[in-house]
Amino acid sequence: MRSRGLLAAVSIVALLSGAIAGAIAFSTAGDAERATYTYATPTVAAEHATPATTATTATEAASSIAAPTATTSITATEPATPTLVPAVSASPTLGEAWSATPYLYTPAPDVALAPAAFDLLTEIESEWGVRIVIAGQDWGDDEAAQMRNLGALAGALASLPANVVSLATDSSHGSLSLLSNEDGRTLAGWQPYGHGAANFHTTEDWDGNVRSVASQIVLQTGADRVTITHELLHAYQMHDAPSGSYGQSLLTAEMNSFMAATGWVQTVSDDELQSRMHGTWAEIAEMFRYEGSGLSYISEIGETLQAFTPNPIEAFAAVGALIYAAPDGTELPDWPEYRRWFESNLD
């Protein structure tokens, strides 16, 4: 059972979740009783996010969070991420599925957390059993931004069914670590999307020499609740897949059930699907055809958007994130086949 204190904090800060820099970003002004914030439609793929090309800063919210009064801040107490030598010719991951040449990165100093933000971080870790990394990370420039960004994380975790969160946060790859930086950088300093911010989940890490099993979600600073929920659903999908083998989730009975219920048609034989599991996202997409309902929706500011669903793995995360965590005011279609499947299989 979730503690009342943490859920109360989530109910305040979840309204203040900031935006990521993505392909499409919108700003919306709430009425006098609600916060003003920015929101970006999720455009990330499991392990294969579309790198952001510009950085946007979440708008200052008209919020109930008091201005910081403390004069001290919390600095990272864990060991700093090791300094790595940049590797321009770094080899891609399994199947060359990553979208850009990876790099190794020496992180900038971390941004210290304000006391209230550190307290919220500690509550989230205790409540859900995750590790929120401070060293070398940026959760926001000040207390308001940090509370907003960590609040979006808490809101995403609270939005999903308990069994989904349990498998996403404690999988065969280990306990989940959550990072926040503008470099698309893992704990070991690996940038699988090259230079630039990205939101992604990974089941492997690389220090330039050795690949290791990992369970990490890397967020662009200011990622909103829907984006974080999207990545948590990817972590759930990959909870029992071999490290680095992302297409394997398509071979599970659960994903077969999801595809059959929602209109995804496999266009190749099972043998061919099995043999191409480590291909690029484009190669995986070629093996499926979508014949289901339209996936457009209206954002909370009245913009018509399309859920990012180039393949069944993305459809699961993108539509699921909207159903579970869309901001108030978002107009989602009934999507009865999706809702029935999630309610029957995940809730």
Q: Which of 16-20, 51-55, 201-205 has the highest mean pLDDT?
A: 201-205
Question: Which helix (H) or strand (E) covers residue 281, if one does?
Answer: helix 281-285
Highest mean pLDDT among 21-30, 56-65, 115-124: 115-124
pLDDT at 52: 37
A 10 A CB-CB count for 33 gives 6
Quick one: pLDDT at residue 195? 76
Considering just the CA atoms, what is the radius of gyration of the chain in Å? Answer: 19
- Asked if the model's pLDDT at residue 60 lies above 50, the reply is no
252 or 109, which is more confident? Answer: 252
Q: Which pLDDT does position 67 carry in this prediction?
A: 31
Where on the phi/psi map is residue 208: left (φ > 0), alpha (ψ -120 to 50), or beta? left
Around Cβ 290, how many Cβ atoms within 10 Å? 18
Q: In whole numbers, what is the pLDDT of the chain averaged over residues?
A: 76
A 10 A CB-CB count for 87 gives 17
* Cα 95 from Cα 279, distance rounded (Å): 5
pLDDT above 70 (res 66) = no
Domain span including residue 12:
4-345
Q: How many CA atoms lie within 13 A of 157 on its CB side?
A: 28
Determine how many CB atoms are found less than 10 A away from the CB of residue 285: 17
Which is more confident, 9 or 250?
A: 250
Q: What are the tens digits of pLDDT across the range 74-85?
A: 444 443 333 333
Residue with tokens 């420039």: 141
Q: How many CA atoms lie within 13 A of 289 on its CB side?
A: 4
CA 50 to chain centre: 12
Question: For the chain, what is the domain count?
Answer: 1
The Cα 133–Cα 145 span in angstroms is: 16
Q: How far is the CA of 135 from the CAs of 53, 82, 204, in angstroms?
A: 24, 10, 19
Which helix (H) or strand (E) is 323 found in, with range? helix 312-325
pLDDT tens digits for range 256-282 = 999 999 999 999 998 898 888 877 778
CA distance 219 to 236: 16
CB atoms within 10 A of CB 240: 13
Distance CA 216, CA 162 (A): 19
Beta bridge partners, 200, equal 218
| Residue whose C-alpha is closest to residue 128's, from 92, 76, 164, 93 | 164
pLDDT digits (tens, 9 = 90+) for 136-191: 999 999 999 999 999 999 999 999 999 999 999 999 999 999 999 999 999 998 98
- pLDDT in the model for residue 101: 59
Burial pattern 183-193, b for ≥16 Cβ within 10 A else e, equals bbbbbbbbbbb
pLDDT for residue 243: 83
Beta 211-219 vs 177-180: how paired, if at all? parallel
pLDDT exceeds cutoff 70 at 107: no
Q: Per-residue confidence at 36, pLDDT binned at 50, 70, 90?
A: very low
